Amino acid sequence: MPSSTLQMRILTLGPLATNCYIVFCSETREALIIDPGWDARQILAMVRALDLRVRYVVNTHAHWDHIGANAAVVEATGAPLALHPADRPLLEAKGGADWWSIPLPPSPPPDLELRDGEVLQVGKLRFQVLWTPGHTPGHISLYEAQAGVVLDGDVLFARGIGRTDLPGGDYETLMRSIREKLLTLPDETRVYPGHGPPTTIGEERASNPFLEFPE
């Protein structure tokens, strides 16, 4: 579970049941919104109900189901939009929504380019950016060491991994990201993915059928 300082609300939204995370510091009420993929009204209602000040809106990657509410959420909160620069072309292409004839408003451009190893400060929380490409070229995860939490988008799921058959995906790159960036975290680290339930690094190391790396 999140720590007493790190609190979160999970909203599962849109046609692909994408997890949008509102993560906040309980002491300062500062927050970040991760992957506002759909239904801005519901996201903003939660922010108001919790009396939060949004410091950042972060896209773990720029597929359409993770960016669909960017425009409305950024406009309403005034928070900067943060994205890895390698996913900016995908963002500008509306996350591929047109490939499936999905009507999607264009996202504003990112205000902040996320780089591997940098830190986003949100109240007393420190989120380290982990560049975890493979699902998309600019995919990132956010790790808060004190709370033992990683929000990893569409890289590692409970008993699954992100797909790599979409443009920009690469299986070997994804597996390297998992092996070098996620499985090096402590086993007790809670993993909050872009779809499905949370898990832990230890649970996935022990029982995820996709993670049988050769010795």
Q: Which of these, 60, 87, 84, lies nearest to 142 by C-alpha position? A: 60
Q: Hey, what are 63's tokens?
A: 């597929």
Burial of residue 212 (CB within 10 Å: 0-12, 13-18, 19+) is exposed
CA torsion sign, 40 to 45 to 46 to 52? positive
The 3-state DSSP class for residue 123 equals coil
Q: Looking only at Cα atoms, what is the longest distance across the chain?
A: 50
Q: Hey, what are 177's tokens?
A: 């990201």
Residue 214 confidence (pLDDT) above 60: no
Its pTM stands at 0.95
Q: What are the φ and ψ backbone dihedral angles of 153, each rounded to 5 degrees?
A: 55, -130
Return mean pLDDT, the chain.
96
Predicted confidence (pLDDT) per residue in 58-82, tens digit: 999 999 999 999 999 999 999 999 9
Residue 196 to residue 136: CA distance in whole angstroms:
19
Predicted confidence (pLDDT) per residue in 34-45, tens digit: 999 999 999 999
Q: Which of these, 28, 32, 27, lies nearest to 8 by C-alpha position? A: 32
pLDDT over 70 percentage in the chain: 97
Residue 140 confidence (pLDDT) above 80: yes
Residue 3 confidence (pLDDT) above 90: no
Distances (CA, A) of 64 to 36, 95, 107, 149: 10, 4, 10, 25
